[in-house]
Amino acid sequence: MSAVTSQEASSSAFPCSYHVFLSFRGKDTRKTFTDHLYTALGEAGFHTFKDDDGIRKGEDIKSEIAKAIRESRISIIVFSKNYASSTWCLEELVMILKHKTLGHIVLPVFYDVDPSEVRKQIGSFEEAFTRHEEKLKSETGKTTIAKLLYDLNFLRFEGSSFLENVRVTSQQQDGLLRLQKKFLSDILKTTKVKLNSIAEGTAMIIKAICCKKVFIVLDDVDKLDQLDALLGVRGWLFPGSKIIITTRRERLLGAYEFYKVHRLENLSDDESLELFSWHAFGKCCPNNGYGEVSKRVVSYCGGIPLAIKVLGSSLSGNCLNVWKSQLDKLKAIPDSQIVEKLRISYDSLQDDHDKRLFLNLACFFVGSDKDSTISILDGCGFYTVVGIQNLVDRCLISIDESNTLVMHHLLQQMGREIVRQESPKEPGNRSILWNHEDAFNVLREHTGTSEIEGLKLDMCLLKDEAYACSVFGDNRKRRYEEFLGKPLLSNLGGSLKRYGFTIFSSHLEPTDPENSNIPVALEVDAFARMNKLKLLQLNRVHISGPYKKFPKRLRWLCWRGFPLKSIPGDFPLESLVALDMQYSRLKYVWAGTKFLRLLKILDLSHSYDLEKTPDFSELPNLERLLLKNCTSLVEVHKSIGRLERLVLLNLEDCKNLRNLPRSICMLKNLETLVISGCPNLYGLLTNMGNMESLTMLKVDGIALNQSLPTNGQVNAVQSFIWPWRLKPIESPEISWPSLPWSLVQLSLGNCNLSDDDFPIELSNLCSLKELNLSNNQFRSLPDFIRGLTKLESLSIESCPRLRKLDGVPPLHGYLFFGANRLLEEVTCQVSHRPTTTCHLDACNHPETMTLFKLESIESVEAEIVNNLGLSNLQSMGNLTVKLTSWFGMLQRRFPVQVCYEEHIICAYIPGSKIPPWFNFKNLGSSIDFIVPSYLNLRIGGLNVCSVYEHSGDPKRDEPHTIISNRTKGLVWSHCPHVFGTAEDGEDTMWLSYWKFGNRLEVGNEVRISVYGGEFLNVKEVGVRLLYEEEPEEMCFHSAYGDKIPLQLCQFGNIVPGIVSAHQPSTKLYLLGFHENCKFPCKYCQHLYPPPWIPATPYDYDYTVECLASNQMMGWSFYVSQDLGR
């Protein structure tokens, strides 16, 4: 016990209340060894703390134990067989080891357990940690993560409180008052809290937290008044205080000026399968024979841990037939436990309006264009814009980058189940018939009622095999796959951002209606009692009888595969907001004119027999006209110019279209015009420049360099694209119009453009952000490209004659120039915004100026060569390396080259040993060092040298450097644009030069790691410090007798990094080309622990800044808990 005596002489930051703190597993040793030890210590005069059965469990005991550990001079840990199985014991152990850094002495005692079992975590300790891991993986919700963060950090604050189930508790009588009392009891560390009102409680809370650093977790908050009651005004918080709030409402904290949001992502497929296996089989993988069906269950769950746990537990122990039957049942009726949990967000919606809106979206519009859906549902009496925002806030729906409504399929199934429960046994009494079988039976048996507001029927999705075969024929699978619809979302040139030209991309598209045998015809009388029907979606349905009996209050009619040649005159269309008849057999839409004052959307795409459009003169509110792939369409009615509200016109792939009315130029509100794939268009458009709202123009696939006809007929596209042709051949004298300056996206792909055929007036397109010039015949870009200062994305792919790409303006998005096999040099300026990305697939290893440049070692300035640690260049004349560019994934052998990047200079040389003038060396892939002081010289940079061997395909692996300055909280991750490998069987030496400025100082802790892939083995890493001056004694001599100075080179930019005077949060900077690099997320866990552990573990901010050609592809987040060595 001499250790205790010596410790008594040491000073402590805490008052000493105990000599010894005992940590033990009660059921193992409380009444045996520990009891005897406690007695013996007491008899020897040591005041000892022992957790006995009289102490009340909960947060109070945790605080008391933490206080006892802080006020004890020594801890004795009694490790027994079941010690690690107790999470309480492990939490005590964490507290003890954290306090050890403050001079606290720790003595282990191994009772009936071998020390190696504890040290190596084998035997009973391995089993215990396996169970903890299983439990932790099964508890991945917001509350669990918040609880973990709280447990790891609460001791470092003056006060702390964890309030669970705020939403549920606040709904109970005096619930908020009880939460306030619990809050104040935790912060003030007293049970004597008396409150008479919520206002009094809020005032006391403000007073309690305004003068001390506190850590607060509010779990499951769903209303702002709960935050107001528990926190008051945020300005009252003491500096350094931290608050974690878990909520189902994304915008709940919108009124708070400073807050950060972490969205809990769904599990990946592998994580889901592992979690499911733990619950279903009690191990990390499925049993033999259950692999495929387990993957089906996991796919159904969609990464939601709750669903995975519920289904895993319910299926555990059942035979394979039961599993398959359960999966079939889930398609029709979801699991009640899952629905009950997911329904919490639905029930929390503020009114019936938002609930009905959610049900309609779940049954009809998931996967649909948001703007079109808003038009339709607004016509049904919904306030759709604010309603969708409320649903987004509750995380019940989301909007993706293509403006499509996205809903997790379990939420969608939950919504549909709510509708089914309206009348489980009588489908005709439900508000929405979303199930195809139920809808078919109701229509066939005429059991519909006035309750029905929406109906969905797809004859091809019925389970009747005989009927399906009659529709699809014998080769059912192939024809069914052809039948499945694909989103009509195109890429500009196959590469630029997607944009939506279809109304509902998730719906089915029938094929070959002429040859399909439709054996079932429903009667129009089946709709007679459905006088509230507003939403009707039919697919491959035949209806017989007079159409005047059709529902008259319809707002949306989606009838794919409409079987008639035209819409009958008695068909009630007057109330329609949207008419979708894709894949119809229409030859003309209707006879004469129809006054449809409410119609906003007309979609007749893929109606292959349609020969002409209707008269548009009586459609005053039409906003979207979609005629894509109407291959028989010859002309568009001239009345189209009267559609003053039209914003989208899609005529893509109307291959026989021969006339575009001049009145199109009168469409001043038109925003999107697509006429790609219409090679037979003739007519003259003269006033394109007056289309002041046009933002997207797509004319791909039209040869623009052909001679204009001399018979007076002028290609319509040529008439408004061709005015800029410098020397028209055999063309009449014509005054050509200009494109509107409002254009944001322009696609001229596959237009047969050559060097002499560029429209020179494109420079007036001052708003242009996306330009596609792919699949053309030019050798270089025209000068006008330089003037497009707002350009974000440029696509120049598959241009077989392109040799030099020069004059590209600074881009803020994507540069696509792949598959240009003659391309030799690229000069471009790329913004440092995170989305900047270059794609050079299948190019012939071009140099990409300002991204990277290669220069032969013999031509490099001597200063740069010296700073790379190279010398005796004559000896390198015969050396070659194989360089691989990540743009093209191609390889060529070069003499030794120096590669210049914006922040890094590097070279690859055959070699197997770090040069002797490197200050620090270490075998393996990483090196740790503390920057030394030398003659008060400032350190401006460093060289990194690594030696690696390569035994596989260079296209699959690349070296990757991560430099971590732990002291300053700065991390640089560099993936080179090109990397080199020596001859087969030889090692490669990778030298790189980094210029740091004030980002590297004396005393900084630094780790440098070089990683490779499966076939790249890093053998050794070395570091050489570079100073801003060159003292003689700091020069080294190479093996060839050359003096190697250590002076900082003036070339290149200082690596980025913000140096804060305060305790920093770690900032990660991505340098080089990270799009193909798979290492940062995988290897960042090997960096130093973040700087806030253990100094400030509650500060877990982590900022990423992407530079140069980087595109952030994802994010990985984990929490590690150090239990000691």
Share of the chain above pLDDT 70, in %: 71
2-126: CATH number? 3.40.50.10140
Which segment of 100-104, 214-218, 491-495, 546-550 scores lowest on mean pLDDT?
491-495
Residue 650's DSSP bridge partners are 626, 674
3-class secondary-structure state, position 373: helix
pLDDT surpassing 80 at residue 782: no
Which segment of 347-351, 734-738, 948-952, 1054-1058 scores lowest on mean pLDDT?
734-738
pLDDT surpassing 70 at residue 4: no
Distance from C-alpha of 509 to C-alpha of 458, rounded to nearest angstrom = 11
Distance from C-alpha of 976 to C-alpha of 30, rounded to nearest angstrom = 60
Domain range summary for the chain, segments of one domain joined by +: 2-126, 142-255, 269-332, 851-1106
β-pairing, 920-923 with 1016-1027? antiparallel
Mean pLDDT on 957-979:
83
Question: Of 924, 937, 941, 1047, which Cα lies nearest the Cα of 992?
Answer: 941
pTM, two decimal places? 0.63
What is the DSSP annotation of 40-87?
HHHHTT--EE---TTSPPSHHHHHHHHHHHHTEEEEEEEE-TTGGG-H
Q: What is the DSSP letter of 1053?
A: P
Distance from C-alpha of 622 to C-alpha of 593, rounded to nearest angstrom = 14
Burial class (CB in 10 A: 0-12, 13-18, 19+), 1060: exposed
Distance from C-alpha of 174 to C-alpha of 179, rounded to nearest angstrom = 9
pLDDT surpassing 50 at residue 1043: no
pLDDT of residue 814: 55
pLDDT of residue 465: 43
Give the domain 142-255 fold: Rossmann fold (3.40.50)
pLDDT surpassing 80 at residue 640: yes
Residue 1042's DSSP bridge partners are none
pLDDT surpassing 80 at residue 828: no
Distance from C-alpha of 1068 to C-alpha of 1117, rounded to nearest angstrom = 13
Distance from C-alpha of 586 to C-alpha of 566, rounded to nearest angstrom = 5
Look up residue 445 and give its two tokens. 């048996």
Q: Answer yes or no: are the C-beta atoms of 1062 and 887 closer than 8 Å.
A: no
pLDDT surpassing 50 at residue 836: no
- pLDDT tens for 240-267 read 888 898 888 877 776 665 567 777 777 8
pLDDT surpassing 80 at residue 557: yes
b/e map of 227-237 (b: 16 or more CB within 10 Å)?
bebbbbeeebb
Matching fold, domains 2-126 and 142-255: yes
Q: Across the chain, what does the average pLDDT equal? A: 76
Look up residue 432 and give its two tokens. 């929405």
- pLDDT tens for 203-238 read 998 888 888 899 999 998 888 888 888 887 665 778
Q: Which residues, 6 or more positions from 851, have their beta carbon under 8 angstroms from its beta carbon?
A: 826, 828, 830, 838, 901, 902, 977, 1073, 1108, 1109
Distance from C-alpha of 558 to C-alpha of 1094, rounded to nearest angstrom = 61
Distance from C-alpha of 348 to C-alpha of 469, rounded to nearest angstrom = 45
Which segment of 194-208, 461-475, 836-850 scores lowest on mean pLDDT?
836-850
Confidence of residue 26 (pLDDT cuts 50, 70, 90): confident
Q: Answer yes or no: are the C-beta atoms of 993 and 906 closer than 8 Å.
A: yes
Which segment of 183-192, 829-838, 1073-1082 scores lowest on mean pLDDT?
829-838
pLDDT of residue 235: 59
Residue 68 backbone phi and psi in degrees, to 5: -65, -40
Q: Answer yes or no: are the C-beta atoms of 439 and 456 closer than 8 Å.
A: yes
pLDDT surpassing 70 at residue 506: no
Question: Of 378, 431, 357, 368, which Cα lies nearest the Cα of 405?
Answer: 368
pLDDT of residue 430: 96
Share of the chain above pLDDT 90, in %: 26
- pLDDT tens for 915-953 read 888 888 888 888 988 888 776 778 878 889 999 888 765
pLDDT surpassing 60 at residue 679: yes
Mean pLDDT on 168-182:
89
- pLDDT tens for 794-805 read 888 888 887 777
- Single out the catalytic residue among 92, 134, 453, 958: 92
Residue in the structure block whose two tokens are 């009888």: 545
Is 770 a catalytic site residue?
Answer: no
Mean pLDDT on 957-976:
83
- pLDDT tens for 480-499 read 333 333 333 333 333 333 33
Confidence of residue 163 (pLDDT cuts 50, 70, 90): very high
Distance from C-alpha of 165 to C-alpha of 185, rounded to nearest angstrom = 17
pLDDT surpassing 60 at residue 669: yes
Q: Which residues, 6 or more positions from 220, have their beta carbon under 8 angstroms from its beta carbon?
A: 142, 143, 164, 165, 166, 167, 168, 246, 247, 248
- pLDDT tens for 840-899 read 444 444 444 446 677 777 777 777 776 676 665 655 667 887 877 755 445 667 788 888
pLDDT surpassing 60 at residue 1109: no
